[in-house]
Chains A and B, each alone.
Chain A
């Protein structure tokens, strides 16, 4: 039981490049989330998926897209990366109340 896994762990992009962050959970959770963590700002919700087949915007969705591929997988795509998207990205999943987090992806955009 691996919990929530994220790939890659680290990534460096140039401005304008695109990439997809992958997330998978093996806990049979219905809901999945993408957050970004920036110093002094806590975690901010980018997008979430309440259940398979649905996605909704969170607090900071601009510049991102998501896909809930199936119940296990929820990907986050940056179509044209900007330096402001330099951050640590966390995926999480939940069944009822508490959320369970992956180890994070550290993304740097130069």
Chain B
């Protein structure tokens, strides 16, 4: 069975400071990893993914994430936070074996609050 842990319910950061939202995972085989963002009363929007290749992946809105196989982590980062980044962030994982539908398992979400 695959699982995702987001250990922080909420992360608070001042605008202009770097931010990190943590994610660890468990999955059989090679992981496919994703980050999504959800703004109030909206659906989830795709931010970035790791499938294979470079451990540092870049995504939308200046976000990036680092895949660490030994620590089974996929932390989301941004060098300089904006107030508009305040939202709910979800990490998700799927089994990388081919032939399966893209059944994602989501974490419980981390609320990011960026203040002036």
Contact = CB atoms under 8 A, between A and B. Distances in A.
Interface of A: 4, 31, 33, 40-45, 48-50, 56, 58, 90, 92, 94, 96-104
A106 to B, nearest CB: 8
Interface residues of B, number: 23
B101 A101 contact: no
Interface of B: 4, 32, 34, 36, 41-46, 49, 51, 90, 100-109
Residue of B34, B100, B103, B105 with most chain A CB atoms under a 10 A cut-off: B103
A7 to B, nearest CB: 14
Given A43-B106, A48-B103, A98 B34 contact: yes
B105 to A, nearest CB: 8
B60 to A, nearest CB: 11
Residue of A31, A48, A97, A104 with most chain B CB atoms under a 10 A cut-off: A97
Contacts of A90: 43-44
A80 B26 CA distance: 35
Contacts of A96: 102
A43 B44 contact: yes
Given A40-B108, A42-B106, A98 B90 contact: no
A42 B36 CA distance: 12
A79 B55 CA distance: 46
A99 B43 CA distance: 11
Given A43-B106, A97-B51, A101-B45, 18 more contacts: A33-B103, A42-B90, A42-B108, A42-B109, A43-B90, A44-B106, A45-B105, A48-B101, A49-B101, A56-B101, A90-B43, A97-B32, A97-B49, A98-B34, A98-B46, A101-B36, A103-B42, A104-B42
A107 B43 CA distance: 15
A33 B102 CA distance: 9
A82 B62 CA distance: 42
A7 B106 CA distance: 24
